[in-house]
Amino acid sequence: MPAILYLSVCMFFGIQLVSFFVPDIRRLFVGISFDSERISSLPSFLFLLPAGFVIGTLSVTTVTYYVALLIHPFTPAQMHPLYPSNILSLCLFAYLGSLLWQKSYVRKNRAPKRDSIMQRTARLPLFDASFRNILPIVIALLIIMAGAVYVCFYTFNIQGDRLFVAPSVASDFAPNLALASSFSKGSNFPTQYPHFPGDQIQYHFLFFFLCGNLNLLGLPMDFAFNLPSILSMLSALTLLSLLAVLLSGRRLAFVITPILVFFRSALNIFHQLHALLVTQKIGFQAAIRAITKSSEWFVLTDKDDWGLWAINVYANQRHLMLGIAFLLVLIILYIPYVRRMFLHMAKLKSIPEKLRCFFISRDAWLPRQKDPLRPIMLIFPSMLIALFAPFFHGSALISAMLILLVMAIFSESRLLYLPVALIAVGSSFLQSQILSGGSENVVSLTVKPGFILLNPTFANASKYLFQMGGVTFILIPAMIIGLMVYQFIAKKNHYRVILAIAFSAPLVFAFVMQVSVEMLANHKFIQITILFYYMMIAGLLSHLFCLPIYFRSRQKSRTEASGNRRGMLMAPAACIALRSLSIIIGISIFVSMIGTGISEWFAFHNRNTNKMSVNLKSDMVEWIDKNTDPQSVFLTPNWYLHTFFLSGRMSYYGWPYYAWSAGHDTQDRMAMYEWILTGCGGDTELFYAVCKQENIDYVLYNSELYGYLNGQGEHIFNKPFFESNLTPVATFPDDSDTIIYSVKRPV
């Protein structure tokens, strides 16, 4: 199937590019890891495959889109521009992937020189494929895969001739399904928002272009959305779990990280139980039964009833995980330089020497000479991500730049960050100019403290975060302080504290700045920071569950078993007591963190039992597909999710919330829409002139359009005008008595 070939080429090219430009993944792991002995528990493919998928998907999809955009004016009317575009891009990236594979093969088989990178790599810890190393990885990947498949297919699937959409995700799937169809069934070049045509595109849409392209290439619409969504979630959570192990030195963190992501931390469950047990005075078993039967998210903070922070966010915003995945690739590639700065400063004794090393030394700004990490090559994948990411997920790219900015301040080789920042900014401005008419139409930064709080004080913000994030926002400050004290006393590297501060940058940004007309959109910045917090807490829990203390009487056997790994030796009674206390504390933290998530999974499942659906075999859609231009614009009811959008055609005034939140001027469009519904006051000449001006080709009439009410509650649709002045070209009695009128003026 061509769609599977497309994804295969994405993977092939991405993997070969990562293999060529990051040839020493083991050394990259060492450069990140707090405990280099744990590198042997991590196979290189945990970075190679997710990073390859991310970079390959971003590269192939972006090039495919722009090739189609360039050639669509020259493509015959009977040919979809994506067909030649796919052929060109797939051939190009298959060739580039093959070329990179050949170069990597030659490099690996070249006769090694003395003290070469090949020799130095051989001395690095290789993956120990033992059962205790494989088991956590297998368990974690199964958890991620099971969660991703369930979340994606439960909320969006095809059964028979109908496409079912869960109510909790219909809000985002309405415009996104229309976007995908506009590429697979329509010809949305230059790209416009299907609910608001004529005003270019002001939303990061390339993930949904990918879905539409996969649908065009043969995947059913549910697989076209779900397959890249699952691969994105698998990539993001694998990279996040990998980073958890590298920074904590604990294998168990690989399993705990995805669990914390799927079952979010919050205080909701405690308030929910209090309401059931104390306020309603029902028994504990009845309370648990009520939670498992509930179809509503418990509201503790504003918009909790939307599932704003629940698992629903990943089902709803399918492009978010791909954004988090490319953000993680960027961060992983740059962490070694932060670690190195503090590693080298620790070797200096005097304060002036440390200050000189930090501010004005050559290594503080320029790459080290003969650096085994090959930093010049290492930044190429980062620059590629920065180049192609802006219209995949703008918020994730902004978050990446914020985190990298903080990292750069405390890093050596600081100038290595500059090309990525310049390319990210330049690509964002250039693509915004091409696709949206200017960056001000996509992002308009304004200072607005407080996120969605009505009274944005520091105390209220702290209270909101504590309620929304639960013990997460107690543990993270405690961990930062604890790490600073521990690392100072033990003379350990301080880079993990800096990373924790850097990971907080998107959250701070969300509470200070507004990037779009809808302040609620800032929740994505907070969500990204919280995911990094979960990763760090997973490391803490792993230490609590497997506290590194051993019986003093078993020193020899323990040392041999652990490969000389450091640990505290204690008397057996003290060791058992301390380990038991540590496990109890760990379990208490873990249970308190996942409780809200568990209750929200029940609500998620129950809420989406009865799904909305659209007809995949609609006669109306089939007629529109065969008899209208792929770029046609229809005057329709202001639908948000409807079978009509499977045709890939545009609705002049779709549901306004989505267009408004994407930055379009919905007030003026609504006024024009209502004016047109009146037949422009019954003026035939003016009506045709306005339709020509607004590029409206057809009117899709049914009872919903007839029943449209304006702001004053008045029926304004001028049915006699449309019946007497427009020509009906198709009728569909079985589809809500729909009549399609052509707006072409009769000769």
Q: What digits encode the pLDDT tens for the residues 693-735?
A: 999 999 999 988 888 888 888 889 999 999 999 989 999 998 8
Average pLDDT over residues 88-102: 97
- Confidence tier at 596 by pLDDT (50, 70, 90): very high
Looking at the predicted structure, is the pLDDT value of residue 22 above 60? yes
Of the candidates 40, 16, 23, the one whose C-alpha atom is nearest the C-alpha of residue 116 is 23
Output the pLDDT for position 679. 92
Q: How many CB atoms lie within 10 A of CB 84?
A: 17
CB 711 within 8 A of CB 721: no
Q: Is residue 84 very low, low, confident or very high in pLDDT (cuts 50, 70, 90)? A: very high
Cis amide leading into 190 (omega within 30): yes
Type of residue found at 161: D
Mean pLDDT computed over 25-49 = 91
Task: Enter the tokens of residue 616.
Answer: 């995949």
Domain spans in the chain, listed from the N-terminal domain onward = 2-243, 617-742
pLDDT exceeds 60 at position 115: no
Read off the pLDDT of residues 332-354 as tens digits, 9 standing for 90 and up: 999 999 999 999 888 888 899 98
- Written as six digits, the tokens of 590 are 């873990």
pTM of the model: 0.94
Q: Does the pLDDT value for residue 37 go beyond 80?
A: no
Contact 602, 292 (CB under 8 A): yes
Task: Give the model's confidence band at 439: pLDDT under 50 very low, under 70 low, under 90 confident, else very high.
Answer: confident
pLDDT band at 557 (very low <50, low <70, confident <90, very high): very low
Find the range with the poorest average confidence among 76-80, 468-472, 498-502, 568-572: 568-572
CA distances from 715 to 672, 718, 726 (A): 16, 9, 20
Does residue 235 have a pLDDT over 90? yes
State the pLDDT at residue 443.
Answer: 78
For range 272-289, the mean pLDDT: 93
Q: Look at residue 158 and tell me whether its pLDDT is greater than 90.
A: yes
- Strand 698-701, strand 738-742: pairing: antiparallel
Architecture of the domain whose range is 617-742 = 3-Layer(aba) Sandwich (3.40)
* pLDDT band at residue 112 using 50, 70 and 90 as cut-offs: low
pLDDT score at 657: 87
Q: With bands split at pLDDT 50, 70 and 90, how would you rate the model's confidence at 113?
A: low
Confidence band for 77, pLDDT divided at 50, 70 and 90: confident
Residue 564 has pLDDT above 80, yes or no: no
Q: Say yes or no to pLDDT of 533 above 50.
A: yes
Q: Taking a C-beta distance cutoff of 8 angstroms, is the pair 160, 245 a contact?
A: no
Q: Let me know how long the chain is.
A: 747
Which residues lie below 8 Å from residue 554, measured CB to CB, with a gap of 6+?
none
Residue 738 host element (H or E) = strand 738-742
Mean pLDDT of the chain: 91
Per-residue pLDDT at 735: 85
Nearest by Cα to 533 from 511, 513, 506: 506
Model confidence at 485: pLDDT above 60: yes
C-alpha 25/C-alpha 125 separation (Å) is 11
For every residue of 20-45, DSSP letters joined together read HHS--HHHHHHHH-SSGGGGGGS-TH
The mean pLDDT of 667-678, rounded to a whole number, is: 93
97-105 mean pLDDT? 95
Instruction: Please give the DSSP secondary-structure letter assigned to residue 310.
Output: S
What's the rounded Cα separation, in Å, for the pair 366 and 599?
A: 51
Asked if 719 and 676 touch (Cβ cutoff 8 Å), the reply is no
Pairing of strands 612-615, 568-570: unpaired
The 8 Å CB, 24+ separation contacts for 394-397 are 394/204, 394/428, 394/442, 394/443, 395/323, 395/515, 395/521, 395/524, 395/525, 395/528, 396/320, 396/323, 396/324, 396/326, 396/327, 396/524, 396/528, 397/323, 397/326, 397/327, 397/424, 397/428
- Is residue 203 exposed (0-12), middle (13-18) or buried (19+ Cβ within 10 Å)? buried
Nearest to 383 by CA among 447, 330, 309, 442: 330
Angle separating helix axes 375-388 and 45-71, nearest 10 degrees: 50
Kindly write down the DSSP assignment for every residue of 649-674, as one continuous string. -EETT--HHHHHHTT--HHHHHHHHH
Q: How confident is the model at residue 662 (pLDDT cuts 50, 70, 90)?
A: confident
Helix spans in 110-220 (H):
117-122, 131-155, 170-184, 206-216
Arithmetic mean of pLDDT, 522-539: 96
- Name the amino acid, one letter, at 335: I
Picking from 162-166, 275-279, 743-747, which range would have the lowest pLDDT averaged per residue?
Answer: 743-747
What is the dihedral sign for C-alpha 406, 409, 410, 416? positive
Of the candidates 544, 571, 543, the one whose C-alpha atom is nearest the C-alpha of residue 555 is 571
- Where does residue 318 rank: exposed (0-12), middle (13-18), buried (19+ CB within 10 A)? buried
Give the bridge partners for 731, in sequence order.
739
pLDDT grade, residue 561 (50/70/90)? very low
